[in-house]
Amino acid sequence: MFKQVDDELLHKASQEHSTDGSTCLLSLICNGRLTVANIGDSIATLAKKDGSCVQMNVEHTPNCPEERARIEASNGSVFHNRVDGELSVSRAFGDSEMKNLIISEPQCHSIKIEKDDDFLVMASDGIFRTYSQQHIVSRVIELRKRHMGLGNIAATNVEECLRLEAATKECFDNVTPIIVSLADYLMDYERRSLMNTPEQLQLRKQSSQGHQYGSCSSVQSKLLDFSVECHSIL
């Protein structure tokens, strides 16, 4: 998928005579697992219910020994902490003029979501260059205690980062955070899993058969069908 996106971006860039590029950070939550994939220097931070946090991905910068070795093996160089003295990331979409050095192959990390996992913060480098990961996690916990929704908390994070950066320097970095509740997901996932035990499936089968022969009310049958449909979609 990453290569396909990169190829499409490069094709569009060639038509528009553009040399722009982009990092990418994505997460997939499915069947009780969290998978994170990335290229570039955005960060995914897993927050625990005890207030601690764990970084879920590796930042792709030319200072990283593996990335530096790959760049130099491709006849590139690293100085001033940048690829050929220009680009601060070593993996990205686009960047056509440096495509022999800047790859779009992601690194992936997958874990089982546990009961002590609370939420996931996905943010661009502009967020974490302003505040530490632990500060952002602690701030989310603090604001949530004030009954703020995660969307409003993310907006507050942006405002605070911009305010601090404006007071100290001109801000050119992207400051985009996304906050996802893993605790809510796990609670719903476990509830739906209980709905699909062999006993529950057999009960629904019997109820559906009962409806077919007129022994089950139409309202009950629709509710049962809806629960099965929701599970298959989610």
Give the per-residue pLDDT at 207.
64
DSSP 96: G
Tally of structural domains, the chain: 2
- Per the model's pLDDT, the better-predicted residue between 199 and 54 turns out to be 54
Tally: H helices and E strands in the chain: 8, 11
Nearest-10 Cα torsion for 161, 148, 186, 231: -110
Identify the CA nearest to 204 among candidates 227, 187, 186, 182: 227
Residues 99 and 206 in one domain: no
Q: Which residues pair with 38 in a beta bridge?
A: 25, 107
d(CA 92, CA 24): 7
Residues 164 and 224 in one domain: no
| Per-residue buried b or exposed e for 18-39, using 16+ beta carbons within 10 Å of the residue's own CB | eeebbbbbbbeeeeeebebbbb
Residues 184 and 216 in one domain: no
pLDDT in tens, 123-172: 998 898 889 999 999 999 999 999 999 999 999 999 998 888 666 655 56
Average the pLDDT over 5-27 and give the result.
93
Largest CA distance in the chain: 78
Residues 177 and 207 in one domain: no
**Residues with Cβ within 8 Å of residue 137, at least 6 apart in sequence:** 45, 47, 51, 52, 53, 121
pTM of structure: 0.79
The lowest-confidence range among 24-28, 97-101, 126-130, 200-204 is 200-204
**pLDDT for 122 beyond 60:** yes
> Is residue 44 within 8 Å of residue 62, measured between CB atoms?
no
Neighbours of 7 (CB within 10 A): 12
Domain encompassing residue 217 = 195-233
Residues 116 and 138 in one domain: yes
Residues 178 and 202 in one domain: no
pLDDT in tens, 91-115: 999 999 999 999 999 999 999 999 9
Residues 210 and 161 in one domain: no
How high does pLDDT run on average in the chain?
Answer: 85
d(CA 58, CA 61): 9
